[in-house]
Amino acid sequence: QMCEKFTVCTNSMEMLLHNKLNLPKVTEEDGDFLTFLSFQDKCLRKISSGLYTFQTYLKYVQETFISENQNVESLSYSTEHLARILRHMVINPEEVIVPDAATQESLHTKLKSTKAWTEKITIHLIIRDFTSFMEKTVRAVRYLKNTRSFSV
């Protein structure tokens, strides 16, 4: 929808030049998506922390992409709920990084200071990286569901 509505597409050079966002990612170092049992807790911590971090970015998208406000609000609520569930599955839930209010406010202020002409690109990057993060999260949760006894 972003590409069609705002002509912001993945191959845009302008988009690549302005990608200074520090969005959460799940990488092979985080446990190769739970391939080995010993990495499961580490991967769950990383995923839960990433989902909590995405909350601030999703708040920005919700405030900026007004036409999709309800959808983003629902997405944000579901993301926070999943983050809480996964946090409780971690051996030491305190190790999950949950950004404090000051960190969230600082990031939110930085995002809001984005110039209008890069606003759409920023939204696109957030949604793109969130989608990628969630694809990997789904793979990890499916793997856990098949190897551990839990339900999400």
Going residue by residue through the chain, which has 152 residues, state the pLDDT in tens, using 9 for 90 and above. Answer: 555 555 555 555 455 545 567 677 766 555 444 444 456 788 889 999 999 999 999 999 999 888 888 899 999 999 999 999 999 988 899 999 999 999 999 999 988 887 777 888 888 889 999 999 999 888 888 877 777 655 55
pLDDT of res. 68: 85
pLDDT of res. 24: 72
pLDDT of res. 8: 54
pLDDT of res. 65: 84
Query: What is the distance between the alpha carbons of residues 117 and 29, in angstroms, rounded to a whole number?
Result: 35
- pTM (global) more than 0.85: no
Which two three-digit tokens encode residue 83?
């983050």
Identify the sign of the CA torsion 52, 55, 56, 57: positive
H helix runs in the chain, sequence order: 2-6, 13-17, 40-64, 69-89, 101-112, 116-147
Radius of gyration of the chain (CA): 16
State whether CATH 3.90.1150.10 applies to domain 34-149: no
